[in-house]
């Protein structure tokens, strides 16, 4: 019993140290700014591409999330993002029917998530939206429009 508690504690401490180290390493990318008090789980994928990703103080991005910041992503302070959430700023043009979609090019729109927002697990947030302060986005939601 005692040894299992010690083992759990050591695993927990290793995970916290690893998350802080990974946050520090991501800040070496000039397109990424992550607060030192933010917790980014090790399985998070973050691709600033031609844009940028900024994550504020005391925010948490949980396991298996993907943040594609081609149009720019700003996440405020105290934000909680549930596991397997995708934040995607880039999409394809599809206006013409005589040209295949993959040949029509792409466009990017920024995403702003203000302070004290809770985003449930398995959400998809598309480019061009603003999620207002103190909002809750329920699990499995698709966000295509602003949330006040």
SS3 assignment, position 29: coil
| Annotated active-site residue in 12, 24, 92, 140 | 92
33 alpha carbon, distance to own chain's centre: 12
Residue 25 and residue 140: Cα distance in Å, rounded?
30
Q: Is 93 a catalytic residue?
A: no
3-state secondary structure 67-130: EECCCCEEECCCCEECCCCEEECEEECCCCCCCCHHHCCEEECCEEECCCCEECCCCEEECCCE
Q: Which residues are catalytic?
A: 92
């Amino acid at each position: 019993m005692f040894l299992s508690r010690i083992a759990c504690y050591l695993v927990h401490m290793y995970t916290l140290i690893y998350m802080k180290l990974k946050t520090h390493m991501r800040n070496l990318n000039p397109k990424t700014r992550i607060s030192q008090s933010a917790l980014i789980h090790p399985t998070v994928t973050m691709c600033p591409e031609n844009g940028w990703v900024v994550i504020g103080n005391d925010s948490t991005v949980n396991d298996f999330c993907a943040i594609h910041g081609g149009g720019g992503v700003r996440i405020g302070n105290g934000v909680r993002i549930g596991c397997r959430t995708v934040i995607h700023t880039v999409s394809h043009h599809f206006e013409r029917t005589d040209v295949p979609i993959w040949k029509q090019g792409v466009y990017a729109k920024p995403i702003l998530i203000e302070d004290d927002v809770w985003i449930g697990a398995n959400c998809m947030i598309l480019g061009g939206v603003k999620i207002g302060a103190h909002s809750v986005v329920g699990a499995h939601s698709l966000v295509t429009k602003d949330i006040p």
